[in-house]
Amino acid sequence: MKQLFLFFILLITAHQTHSQENLPTDYLTKEFHKGRRDAFRSLMPANSVAVIFSYPERVFSRDINYNFHQNPDLYYLTGYKEPDAVLLIFKESQGTGESYNEVFFIRERNASKETWTGRRLGVDGTKSKLGIKNVYNGKDFKDFSIDFKKFSKIIYDVIPSDIESNQSGFELSGLIQSFKTKSGINTEDKTSQILYENITNSLREIKTPEEIELMRKSVKLSCIAHNEVMKAVGPDMSENEADGIHAYIHRKYGAEGEGYPPIVGAGANGCILHYGDNNATKIDNQLLLMDVGSEYHGYSADVTRTIPANGKFSEEQKAIYQLVYDAQEEVFKICKEGTSLGDVNAKAKNVLAKGLVKLGIIKDEREVNKYYPHGCSHFLGLDVHDKGNYYNGLKENMIITVEPGIYIPANSNCDKKWWNIGVRIEDDILIKKSSYENLSVDSPRKWEEIEALAKQKSTFNDMKFPKI
């Protein structure tokens, strides 16, 4: 019986090993992640240790979890994509004899569970594939010999408190509890968390060549999706169908999904900044605002286009669209090293305010916030609103969005001909020394170009499905 059980385990393991073939080949390399750990370590103060936990799993419905999304900081530093893990980075080498400067505790392999929920790297896989030398199972953390009290500074992020425990003691909840017990930290002390945030902001705000390459792919395939909807859209299309075209194309090109919940809003829905229902059954002869970006190997695009469902802007729609376009063009002129995000926001707001006065929508430029209630830019990368030092000047190889917009909901204090017009144009910009590169240039922004593309036929127009 024992031999039969062992044969079964070997069979499962062999199947799992075989099933790892045909995976993407353009993930970030283990050398990239090691370089990021070394860079992190170089920013740490003397005699310090950094403790970085994985994100928790979250319940979608009863006994089904959401697809797991790793803590971007842990992914950035290791490439590890599983839950129940903690990474320790030391400023100085530790131990006697064979010294070490980092230790990684991860989820243990379990043949039975892997049959149900998928492959796990395990200790050996993490060592070989991710290039981390000192790797242990999570259950070993509790008894691992480390005196946290000898360090001058323990660096860690905000520790979540709403994590379910399975009472094993070595899932995420157990790892966190072991850390608290070993370190005796006061989680109300914010100084360590501020230091952690400052380090990760400084690292992640500047993109490496490897990251820029992944961002190019993520943004480019997002542009292809936007363009396809421009060709396929019509008054009878639903918001959900337009959303689905984006999702299909993202996955067609190898993206794992979207970097944030897609915003696909027609007419009045386009005036809701973070509209997410995407369930209007017909777009009708309205504008369709689509804020949709893929997530490709962890890196999020963030592209917005606003298009007429019938292929042609009305005069009022065109006037608002042109104003938003003009604001974006003026902002592009100052997108370079040294410009502050405050300057970017001020430039966009100034152009929009003057334009809204000229159109008679507002009487005083100070009223611009009624119809332009958000900022113009944010950092972009592993998070759609990525880490970075928002109060410093822009630097070479940062990636930011430029996204002015105007939103005029019904019953606004202006001529009703403007009501329910919502326009945002958003592009992803790579900052250079004295200029910029628009990574999302492949999707048209001029209203004339959008109308021209709308005349082309999409492959989605010929798709026929049974009625239900």
Residues recognised as catalytic: 63, 274, 291, 302, 374, 378, 385, 403, 407, 424, 426
What distances in angstroms separate CA 468 from CA 102, 325, 465, one per listed residue?
A: 57, 42, 9
Q: Among candidates 141, 134, 142, which has minimal Cα distance to 94?
A: 134
CB contact at 8 A, 50 and 74:
no
C-alpha–C-alpha distance, residues 466 and 374, integer Å = 43
Number of other CB atoms surrounding residue 252 within 10 Å: 12
Q: Among candidates 353, 343, 337, 351, which has minimal Cα distance to 429?
A: 337
CB contact at 8 A, 140 and 123:
no
The DSSP letter of residue 369 is G
C-alpha–C-alpha distance, residues 280 and 258, integer Å = 20
Q: What stretches of 321-464 adopt beta strand conformation (E)?
A: 399-402, 405-408, 421-424, 427-431, 436-438
C-alpha–C-alpha distance, residues 269 and 292, integer Å = 15
Query: 378: which 2 tokens?
Result: 């944010």
C-alpha–C-alpha distance, residues 263 and 277, integer Å = 8
C-alpha–C-alpha distance, residues 84 and 178, integer Å = 13
